[in-house]
Structure 1
Amino acid sequence: MSKFSEIINQETPVLVDFFGSWCGPCKMMNPILREVKENLGDRVSIIKIDVDKNQPLAAKYQVRGVPTMILFKNGKQVWRQSGVLQKDELINVITASY
């Protein structure tokens, strides 16, 4: 968990995708997240957290459903939403946090 704290305490926005390997909508997010990363490059970090393998972390952030996206900047949660999101919506949220 301390590694997670290091990752989210960056100046660069960090988008965390809490997902389940068994979750259909989560699988739909993979290509969308790839496109977001291709569009924004170094201006965002994107990490995926499997809720089944990281239950304490999911509990800490009160992730009740997957997929849940949480955007962190300097260690603070600046945005959060559950469900499938579109590429443009994610890019807008991330660029608004600069």
Structure 2
Amino acid sequence: MNSFFQKINSEQLTLVDFYATWCGPCKTMAPILSDLKKKVGDAATILKVDVDANPAISQQYRIQGVPTLILFKKGQILWRQSGVVALPQLEHIIHQYQA
């Protein structure tokens, strides 16, 4: 997971989706995140972190429910929300922190 820390510490916005394979709402988020990537392009990197496969990272960021989305830039948390988030809201958040 070294690449995880490299990405969240970069200058580029990185949206991390903490998810679980058994989680219904997480499955709902997958196509939303795919559409988001198409809309924002290189403005943000999108990473998916399976909480069951990466318990140390999940603990470090105090993930208590899935899906949890966290937006990072230079290692700082800019925004965080649990649950399904609609595409327009995610797009607005990316553009808000893009500057």
TM (norm. structure 2) is: 0.96
Structure 1 residue 3 displacement after superposition: 2.6
Superposition pairs of residues 34-49 of structure 1, within 5 angstroms: 34-49=34-49
- Structure 1 segments unaligned to the other structure (5+ residues): none
SS of aligned partner of 1:97: helix
Mapped to 2, the partners of 1:42 and 1:20 lie a distance apart of: 26
Corresponding residue for residue 4 of structure 2: 4
- Structure 2 segments unaligned to the other structure (5+ residues): none
Corresponding residue for residue 71 of structure 2: 71
What is the alpha-carbon root mean square deviation over aligned residues?
0.8
The one-letter code matched in structure 1 to 2:33 is L
Structure 1 residue 12 displacement after superposition: 1.2
Superposition pairs of residues 55-94 of structure 1, within 5 angstroms: 55-94=55-94
Q: Which runs of 4+ in 1 moved over 3 A?
A: none
Corresponding residue for residue 53 of structure 2: 53
Deviation string 1:66-89 (CA, Å, 9 cap, x unpaired) is 000000011111000000000000
The one-letter code matched in structure 2 to 1:17 is D
The one-letter code matched in structure 2 to 1:67 is P
SS of aligned partner of 2:52: coil
Corresponding residue for residue 95 of structure 2: 95
Deviation string 1:23-77 (CA, Å, 9 cap, x unpaired) is 0000000000011000000111000000000000000000000000000011111
TM (norm. structure 1) is: 0.97
Q: Percent identity?
A: 47
